[in-house]
Amino acid sequence: MVRDARPTRWARWLVPAAVVAVGIAGCSSAHNVSATRGSGVGTHHASGSDGAAGTSATPHVAAKVLPATVSTVPAAGAKKVDPTQRITVSVAHGTLRSVKVTNPAGKTVTGAAAGSAGWRSNEDLGYGRTYTVVATGVGADGAAVTKRSSFTTVDPDNTVDANINRIGGYALTNGATYGVAIVPIVHFDSPITGKAARAAVVKTLSVTTTPHVAGAWAWYGTQDVHYRPQSYWPSGTRVTVAAKIYGKDLGHGVYGASDESASFTIGRKQITIAHDNAPKAVNKVRVYREDKLVRTMNTSMGMHSGTYSGGHYIDFHTMNGSYTVLQHDDPAIMSSASYGLAATDPGGYAPEKIYYATKISTDGIYLHYLDTEPAQNSGVDVSHGCLNLNHPNAVWFYNHSLIGDPVQISGTHGPTIDVAQGGDWSVSWKQWTSGSITQS
């Protein structure tokens, strides 16, 4: 799609012309006197009162006054101009009286004076538009000079939009407070293919932190690029993520449709650790805030089995690895069909409401309320992968967890959560920075 992404407003401004007066010096301290004596003619110099000879007069010539010259950037007739480039107008040998820049619809591009002899636009232009510049300068001689020129901005074959998200495809909310494991993701609505194009995209992305926290971008698929530090974010960090893609060539004739940004703050440090001890002992979920244990909860995890459905094996083990809190649902609607198991299949179940459900994986693993206290207290795993809690514990965790809080699970004998499921923190830093998580 092609669009004039930056609506313009009209503005016209004047700079008073300055007339410079040039004085001409023409006095002399001596006079030339001619006299005729006898038959000859001679030239004599008058003497001063002291008898010394006077000097000859030297005429003074006025300095040449140059006319005003008006210059514009982009140059007249320029093509494929970057729409983020600022238009500048300058005057040599004079002052600038007026500037007007208009788009094809007659709307005026806004700008401001840059000294007495300059002007600079202050807004982006649209794609595939021809802009006309009319600028008038006044020289020291008082004469006005007007220059008219036009140029055309780049006309992309296609444009791509970017959204700043977090794990799970949820929008990253500007001004929100998140847990220490939050992962910003820039999602593009069209694929970015090829290493060169992906490198060009990353150059348009930035993460600004206060205080400074180093991190790295990593592509996953062709539409998502994720950002995280080597370790969890420090509490109190202020973070701004920006995608400055407008006007940028992202490869294959594709340009960015608009710039996007979002800012957030890292909240208190809370880490939840769960270990599957079943069937030897009761499973424990321990919650640490600022490295101090604040709550211990019994849980029943995924049953140690699986089943086949449609030729695919569905594993009921809870996955090992580092999760993050993604969402709070009360209730969540859960069904076995959500992970490919029909309700009529062995182990399947119809949609049902599950209360105080805290989601920690994109494919539907939750810490949630379920009345399975006998299992929770006896070390028996009975779920399809979730961590079942009794009512008081489910309510407490629901109310005391932030989106972005890390949840670390181990000992389940199941697979490890991967990036597609929200396991960004299960990837080693070496692997993250090597680009090996990229899927083509």
Q: Check which CATH number belongs to the domain holding 307 and give it.
A: 2.40.440.10
Name the domain boundary from 117, 152, 187: 152
Nearest to 266, CA basis, from 224, 323, 228, 292: 228
Q: Quick one: average pLDDT of 13-17?
A: 37
* Same domain for 400 and 274: yes
Q: Quick one: average pLDDT of 109-123?
A: 93
* Same domain for 378 and 233: no
The model's confidence at residue 146, banded by pLDDT at 50, 70 and 90, is very high
* Same domain for 342 and 302: yes
Note whether residue 418 is domain-resident: yes
Note whether residue 97 is domain-resident: yes
Q: Looking at the predicted structure, is the pLDDT value of residue 12 above 80? A: no
The predicted pLDDT at position 438 comes to 58
Position with higher pLDDT, 2 vs 233: 233
Note whether residue 53 is domain-resident: no
Helix, strand, or coil here: 326? coil
* Same domain for 177 and 233: yes
Note whether residue 50 is domain-resident: no
Q: How many whole angstroms separate alpha carbon 13 and alpha carbon 369? A: 66
Average pLDDT score, the chain: 86
* Same domain for 409 and 283: yes
Number of domains comprising the chain:
3
Helix (H) or strand (E) holding 396: helix 391-400
Tens-digit pLDDT profile for residues 313-343: 888 899 999 999 999 999 999 988 888 888 8
Q: How many whole angstroms separate alpha carbon 148 and alpha carbon 89? A: 11
Q: How many whole angstroms separate alpha carbon 133 and alpha carbon 90? A: 12
The model's confidence at residue 57, banded by pLDDT at 50, 70 and 90, is low
The model's confidence at residue 51, banded by pLDDT at 50, 70 and 90, is very low
Note whether residue 25 is domain-resident: no
The predicted pLDDT at position 283 comes to 93
Note whether residue 301 is domain-resident: yes
* Same domain for 368 and 320: yes
* Same domain for 429 and 296: yes
Name the domain boundary from 152, 187, 203: 152
Note whether residue 307 is domain-resident: yes
The model's confidence at residue 25, banded by pLDDT at 50, 70 and 90, is very low
Name the domain boundary from 152, 186, 214: 152
* Same domain for 170 and 125: no
Q: Do the beta carbons of residue 160 and residue 192 sit within 8 Å? A: yes
Please give the radius of gyration of the chain, using alpha carbons only, rounded to the nearest integer.
38
Q: Looking at the predicted structure, is the pLDDT value of residue 19 above 90? A: no
For residue 60, give every residue at least 6 positions away whose Cβ sits within 8 Å of its Cβ, in sequence order, or none. 24, 25, 26
Q: How many whole angstroms separate alpha carbon 175 and alpha carbon 181? A: 17
Q: Quick one: average pLDDT of 176-187?
A: 98
Tens-digit pLDDT profile for residues 220-278: 999 999 999 999 999 999 999 999 999 999 988 899 999 999 999 999 999 999 999 99
* Same domain for 281 and 225: no
Domain that holds residue 375: 270-434
* Same domain for 295 and 196: no
For residue 177, give every residue at least 6 positions away whose Cβ sits within 8 Å of its Cβ, in sequence order, or none. 264, 265, 266, 267, 402
* Same domain for 282 and 243: no
Q: Check which CATH number belongs to the domain holding 102 and give it.
A: 2.60.40.3780
The model's confidence at residue 61, banded by pLDDT at 50, 70 and 90, is low
* Same domain for 218 and 98: no
Tens-digit pLDDT profile for residues 418-430: 999 999 999 999 9
